[in-house]
Amino acid sequence: MIRPGLRTILFLAQKGFGQHAFSSLVASLTIALAAGLFLSTYKIKEEANKAFSNASGGFDAVLGARGSKLQLILNALFHLEASPGNLSWEQYETILKTPGVREAFPIAVGDNYLGYRLVGTLPNLFTDHQWRPGENYKVQKGGRIFTDSAKEALVGSMVARKLNLKIGDRFHPYHGLTYKEESKHSDIYVVVGLLEATGTPADRVIWIPIKGIQLMEGHDASMAQSVSAVLLTLKGAAGFSLDLKYNKQGDRATLAWPVASILGSFFNKLNWFEDVLSLVAYMVAFIGSMIIFATLRSAMNERIREFAILRCLGASRRDVTFVVLAQSLMISFLGALGSLLFSFVIHSITARLIREQTGVVMEGIAIDQATITTFFALLLIGLLSGLLPALQAYRVNLSENLKPRT
């Protein structure tokens, strides 16, 4: 008489896994893909929302031409969209002197170098403004900030790395936001400094004096006294009065405020996409559980005589039931581990793409409550999928299954 211990139960479960290795691995892979898709979708949305909200460069609001607040933020802070229009220099001077406005920095866009945007602004953006509390922009050793009236450039860290730009290099800007060889300007700019990395969109921009954009050869003369937007930091509740002045009572400009709230609303509009991917993940997980069920049922049909012999040797109904459930847990456990790997890979690829396209750095993947919950949910799915085959093992009829086979 024998009474299988835990080691014996695990050995028999492993044997069953090996006998049906292909179908077991397919089931594990299916579950891994489903859970990895679900986890990565959830984490990417949460991390992207957080990263974009924290990558506003320390600005509370953006003032620009009448139009979409989101487009204004994406263009002025993230350098992604086209400018909705221009403001006059007088409008910039007005907002600069408005009570409640702590800082106001004008920017002008409209040119690029090999696909990377040139943004014109004032030098004091890099000396006075804190892009993060307690953090001013820093220039790498040997460089400096451009002067207001010279054809000089301060290059973001990502642009410098991608284009291998160094201090002293010279380049011709190109007209427009996309690179076209035939759109080359005759102006020549010299690189006088490289910004240290910030993990914000400022890293993928070439900064030049605002007069450089305004007076660039080939530009319309009207640009000489216009700006694309004004980046603002505010005091106290100044945002409410400015919102009333520009958005509710005025019709010449738009105040995009508060930046974090507008970006949050944008990400909320993507909930439908998250829901679709989650539905796909649930369906794939269901298919995976069915594969586990089919695998174990097939194993039961082949091992039913083996279980009957174990029963005769002293194994209890509970023991053979645990063998089947242990095999089910092995499949789901392997799938759960695989889901973490898939989630990490998808998250890493997506984070790199976001970094390359926007300059925004997302945090690395971490084991959080959602990860732990998903992991144990997969183990539960494995147990539930193995219940019916385990019940079949529990009901093994000794007299029928020990008869000599003819």
Residues 30 and 76 in one domain: no
Residues 224 and 112 in one domain: yes
Burial class of residue 21, CB neighbours in 10 A (0-12, 13-18, 19+): exposed
Least confident range of 52-66, 107-121, 280-294: 280-294
Measured between alpha carbons, how far is 146 from 127 in angstroms, rounded to an integer? 11
Contact, 120 vs 109, CB < 8 A? yes
pLDDT of residue 191: 98
pLDDT confidence bin for 406, thresholds 50/70/90: low
Question: Which is higher by pLDDT, 202 or 32?
Answer: 202
pLDDT of residue 94: 96
Residues 163 and 17 in one domain: no
∠ CA 384-385-390, rounded to 5°: 85
Decide if 124 is inside a domain.
yes
Q: Indicate the residue among 189, 222, 257 that finishes a domain.
A: 257
Residues 218 and 296 in one domain: no
Least confident range of 11-25, 100-114, 161-175, 200-214: 11-25
Residues 218 and 108 in one domain: yes
> If we measure between CA atoms, which residue out of 320, 291, 296, 294 comes closest to residue 401?
320
- Mean pLDDT over the full length of the chain: 86
pLDDT confidence bin for 341, thresholds 50/70/90: very high
Residues 44 and 107 in one domain: no
pLDDT of residue 245: 94
Residues 243 and 104 in one domain: yes
Decide if 376 is inside a domain.
yes
Residues 350 and 277 in one domain: yes
Question: Which is higher by pLDDT, 112 or 250?
Answer: 112
pLDDT confidence bin for 398, thresholds 50/70/90: low
Range picked from 35-44, 151-160, 338-347 for highest mean pLDDT: 151-160
Mean pLDDT of 131-140: 95
pLDDT of residue 3: 53
pTM: 0.79
Q: Which residues pair with 101 in a beta bridge?
A: 234
Residues 28 and 73 in one domain: no
Residue 83 pLDDT > 50, yes or no?
A: yes
Decide if 406 is inside a domain.
no
Give percent of the chain with pLDDT exceeding 70. 91
Least confident range of 41-55, 136-150, 215-229, 287-301: 287-301
Mean pLDDT of 340-358: 89
Residue 208 pLDDT > 80, yes or no?
A: yes
- Number of independent structural domains in the chain: 2
Token digits of residue 330:
């092995």
- In the numeric block, the tokens 């930046």 are attached to 259
pLDDT of residue 399: 53
Mean pLDDT of 246-250: 89
pLDDT, tens only, 276-302: 777 877 787 788 778 777 776 776 666
pLDDT of residue 267: 79
pLDDT of residue 1: 45
Token digits of residue 342:
């898939």
In which domain, by residue range, is 132 found?
A: 61-257
DSSP string, 69-126: HHHHHHHHTSS-SPP---EEHHHHHHHHTSTTEEEEEEEEEEEEETTEEEEEE-TTHH
Residue 391 pLDDT > 60, yes or no?
A: yes
Residue 82 pLDDT > 50, yes or no?
A: yes
Measured between alpha carbons, how far is 62 from 71 in angstroms, rounded to an integer? 11
Residues 247 and 105 in one domain: yes
Decide if 367 is inside a domain.
yes
Three-state secondary structure call for residue 269: coil
Least confident range of 87-96, 238-247, 285-294, 329-338: 285-294
Mean pLDDT of 22-44: 84
